[in-house]
Chain A
Amino acid sequence: MNLEIKLFGFLRKYSPRSEDAFFLDLPDGSKVRDIISTLKIPDNEARIVVINGRHAGEDAVLKADDEVVLMTPIEGG
């Protein structure tokens, strides 16, 4: 299934392309942690996950065409 991935902050360096927004094709039933392992994001790289505008955990099961944003936790002013 096709997934739209966006990487913010320090996570941008794990993008397989030069852009921080790209598509990823993963098997049906894949979870967020499958994206993380596909992109080789290490365990100690802090991140929060937003799927289609809602925060989610790394066990969340994905659907086709989901937008998944991985971002470094940081405060705003």
Chain B
Amino acid sequence: MYGWRGKVLRVDLTEGTIAEEKLDPKAAKDYIGGRGLGIYYMNKEMDPKIDPFSPENLFIMAVGPLTATKTPTGSRYMIMTKSPLTGSVTCSNSGGKFPKEMKRSGFDALIFKGSAKEPVYLWIENGKAELRSAKKIWGKTVNETTDILINETSPKAKVACIGPAGEKRVLISAVMNDKDRSAARSGVGAVMGSKNLKAVVVHGEEDIPIHDEEKFKELRNGALNKFKEVSKDAPPILRVYGTSYAVGSTQKIGALPTKNFQYGTFDNWEKVSGQTMVDNFLEKPKFCADCPIGCGRGSKVTEPGFEGEGEGAEYETIYAFGPDCMNDNLASVLKANYVCNELGLDTISMGSAIACAMELYDKGYIPESDIGKPLNWGDAGAIIEFVEKTAYREGFGDKLAEGSYRLAESYGHPELAMVSKKLDLPGYDPRGVQGLGLAYATSPIGGSHMRAQTAYFEVFGVPCIVDPQKWEEKPRLVKIHQDMVSILDSTGVCYFFAIRYFVNPVLEVTPEGFCNFLNAVTGAEYTIEELQKAGERIFNAERQFLVKAGLSRKDDTLPDRFVKEPMPEGPAKGLVSHLDEMLDAYYSLRGWDNNGIPTKEKLEELGLE
């Protein structure tokens, strides 16, 4: 096979056995790779009703056919499993260097089942895999673990691992790779921890065979030249600011989540803006493998009490630990970021859980004795302290570790958790950005903007602005973008490059660029229609899984704050989310019934049972 390695690795952690298995070429074409491959195996082999911490839960790491081919930004992988936070399927995406190395080490996917009796890690070198004891590193931080394992295996190895948070099954724990890249959402770290799997370490020297080298070179150079053309007068804006730039963008349209999403503007936004980050804390941009953009932030804080350095901060981290907690101290936001990376936590869900706790405390629903101290809005020191306590499930951290929804529910006020399907929402208020509200509610993994980042056109003007306050056109656009992202997530490249160079840069985002690259690399001869159908198939396959797990329209929700309480101030004042109306139109476009269940006709059309 070209592009694909043509094999997956089966690891039975209970038995301690490893086996190679051929990748069915039809499955490869129908599901592409990455996220698609993950749901293919999950649907084929799992009972969606199982407990996510049971040995029967599959834990899949999957790369795409374009990963490691030197396609620009071709170093992305997906972790797919059933989430202990949401009870739904989850796909958690990460970049860096590990995905490229994993592909070069020989496999399209690593499929773990069972649970090891004692901590282990998987080491793969040029196609040869073995399980090794991780007893000596159990309990160690992400940085310590990474350094030790590289030392134990190869200086060229790349590491994906959990920190103490995943080991303690914190429901908002992440799987980190290359120390500071994060497959963060939905508690994937906890699933890995429940399997006693501390890390996956890979090294590979095998180039990926390309079907049509000439055509691929032409496409690759074409994309890179277009990129250089756009960046000829100045480095790309993402390299200058990273995603932190978005603080100003959301503030100015009144959709910057503030005080646990009570408001859409933050008076001191400039103290936590992208400009402030660049001016005070940025050391250098950082690049994933084969990426020309460099959106990563190498940063450093010297402010006493918050000293540290590492990767950060993205926009999402800033919103969650900053305005959402009424915290205008950017140094503390960065410190919180560094601690999350070290201990293996999702920065969005962590910041959001603290913001939720602050509101519960503010309203008198949590007694101070439960927390151990006051937890007031804007208390930067408390934020850092509770991030650490969450990772180790210490004191009140044990409650935060369950995520904002279970925390709020335990105090009788689940409506104060800003979540969808119990996954914390990203940094755009659904009242101010209507389409994204629908995207959150219908994302298979719960509150995520990464299954259809409609903010591209609702907030940032890529390819053009579509009024974020209007909802009527959004069901159609959300559906189109979800299907496109299903393709993207399955090919193994990055959103930031794909949205400008792998799709037709129009609102309808036809995947022409993907089609050309996939065909040049794999020789699979996709037509545009086949590729679009594959995207729709992957999205519906995930819907099948979550429906069988017991989810439906009743879970495609947003908190009452958005659908019932008009935005109290700012440019979005007076607005509520029109989720219900959008859902009706969206289900109809999807070919699902009014309960959000795919019809038999739709499933047959896509070759799903």
Does any Cβ of B come within 8 Å of A54's Cβ?
Answer: yes
Supplied contacts A8-B275, A55-B467, A72-B245, 13 more A-B pairs, CB within 8 Å? A10-B234, A12-B275, A53-B252, A53-B254, A54-B253, A71-B248, A74-B238, A74-B460, A75-B456, A76-B316, A76-B455, A76-B459, A76-B460
By the criterion CB–CB under 8 Å, are A53 and B455 in contact? no
**B499: A residues at CB distance < 8 A:** 75
A27-77 interface with B by 8 A CB criterion: 48, 50, 52-55, 69, 71-77
* Distance (whole angstroms) from the CB of B108 to the closest CB of chain A: 27
**A10: B residues at CB distance < 8 A:** 234, 237, 240
**A71: B residues at CB distance < 8 A:** 248-249, 252
B244-295 interface with A by 8 A CB criterion: 245-246, 248-250, 252-254, 275
**B237: A residues at CB distance < 8 A:** 9-10, 72, 74
Does any Cβ of A come within 8 Å of B519's Cβ?
Answer: no
* 20 pairs of residues in contact across A and B, judged by CB atoms under 8 Å: A8-B249, A20-B275, A53-B252, A53-B253, A53-B571, A55-B465, A55-B467, A71-B252, A74-B237, A74-B238, A74-B246, A74-B462, A75-B243, A75-B246, A75-B453, A75-B456, A76-B243, A76-B428, A77-B246, A77-B314
Does any Cβ of A come within 8 Å of B353's Cβ?
Answer: no
Complex Cα spacing A74 to B243, Å: 8
**A72: B residues at CB distance < 8 A:** 237, 245
* Distance (whole angstroms) from the CB of B435 to the closest CB of chain A: 13
Complex Cα spacing A74 to B254, Å: 17
**A9: B residues at CB distance < 8 A:** 237, 240-241, 245
**B453: A residues at CB distance < 8 A:** 75
Does any Cβ of A come within 8 Å of B496's Cβ?
Answer: yes
- Given known pairs A73-B460, A73-B461, the reply for A50 and B253 (CB within 8 Å) is yes
Complex Cα spacing A71 to B273, Å: 13
A44's nearest neighbour on chain B, judged by CB, is B233
Complex Cα spacing A9 to B460, Å: 12
**B496: A residues at CB distance < 8 A:** 75
By the criterion CB–CB under 8 Å, are B462 and A50 in contact? no
A21's nearest neighbour on chain B, judged by CB, is B270
Does any Cβ of A come within 8 Å of B572's Cβ?
Answer: yes
* Distance (whole angstroms) from the CB of A46 to the closest CB of chain B: 8
**A77: B residues at CB distance < 8 A:** 243, 246, 314-316
A20's nearest neighbour on chain B, judged by CB, is B275
Does any Cβ of A come within 8 Å of B427's Cβ?
Answer: yes
Does any Cβ of A come within 8 Å of B570's Cβ?
Answer: yes
Q: Interface readout for B94-113 with A: 1 if CB under 8 Å, 0 if not? A: 00000000000000000000
* Distance (whole angstroms) from the CB of B323 to the closest CB of chain A: 14
Complex Cα spacing A76 to B449, Å: 10
Most buried by B among A10, A20, A75: A75
Complex Cα spacing A8 to B428, Å: 19
A42's nearest neighbour on chain B, judged by CB, is B233
**B243: A residues at CB distance < 8 A:** 75-77
- Given known pairs A10-B234, A48-B461, A55-B465, the reply for A76 and B571 (CB within 8 Å) is no
Q: Interface readout for B454-487 with A: 1 if CB under 8 Å, 0 if not? A: 0110011110010111000000000000000000
**A12: B residues at CB distance < 8 A:** 275
By the criterion CB–CB under 8 Å, are A52 and B571 in contact? yes
**B462: A residues at CB distance < 8 A:** 73-75
By the criterion CB–CB under 8 Å, are A53 and B570 in contact? yes
Among B245, B428, B495, B572, the residue within 8 A (CB) of A74 is B245
* Distance (whole angstroms) from the CB of A72 to the closest CB of chain B: 5
Among A20, A48, A53, the residue within 8 A (CB) of B572 is A53
Q: Interface readout for B435-457 with A: 1 if CB under 8 Å, 0 if not? A: 00000000000000000010110
* Distance (whole angstroms) from the CB of B322 to the closest CB of chain A: 14
By the criterion CB–CB under 8 Å, are B252 and A50 in contact? yes
Q: Interface readout for B210-251 with A: 1 if CB under 8 Å, 0 if not? A: 000000000000000000000000100110110101101110
**B238: A residues at CB distance < 8 A:** 74-75
Complex Cα spacing A6 to B249, Å: 12
* Distance (whole angstroms) from the CB of A73 to the closest CB of chain B: 4
**B246: A residues at CB distance < 8 A:** 74-77
**B315: A residues at CB distance < 8 A:** 76-77
By the criterion CB–CB under 8 Å, are A75 and B241 in contact? no
- Given known pairs A74-B246, A75-B453, A75-B499, the reply for A48 and B314 (CB within 8 Å) is no
Complex Cα spacing A23 to B252, Å: 17
* Distance (whole angstroms) from the CB of A55 to the closest CB of chain B: 4
By the criterion CB–CB under 8 Å, are A75 and B571 in contact? no
Complex Cα spacing A54 to B468, Å: 9
Complex Cα spacing A32 to B465, Å: 16
* Distance (whole angstroms) from the CB of B98 to the closest CB of chain A: 19
* Distance (whole angstroms) from the CB of B500 to the closest CB of chain A: 9
**B250: A residues at CB distance < 8 A:** 76
* Distance (whole angstroms) from the CB of A48 to the closest CB of chain B: 4
A50's nearest neighbour on chain B, judged by CB, is B252
**B495: A residues at CB distance < 8 A:** 75
B400-438 interface with A by 8 A CB criterion: 427-428
Complex Cα spacing A8 to B240, Å: 12
* Distance (whole angstroms) from the CB of B183 to the closest CB of chain A: 14
By the criterion CB–CB under 8 Å, are A48 and B571 in contact? no
**B253: A residues at CB distance < 8 A:** 50, 53-55
A54's nearest neighbour on chain B, judged by CB, is B571
Most buried by B among A10, A20, A76: A76
* Distance (whole angstroms) from the CB of B449 to the closest CB of chain A: 8
Complex Cα spacing A20 to B465, Å: 23
**A20: B residues at CB distance < 8 A:** 275
Complex Cα spacing A54 to B432, Å: 10
By the criterion CB–CB under 8 Å, are A76 and B252 in contact? no
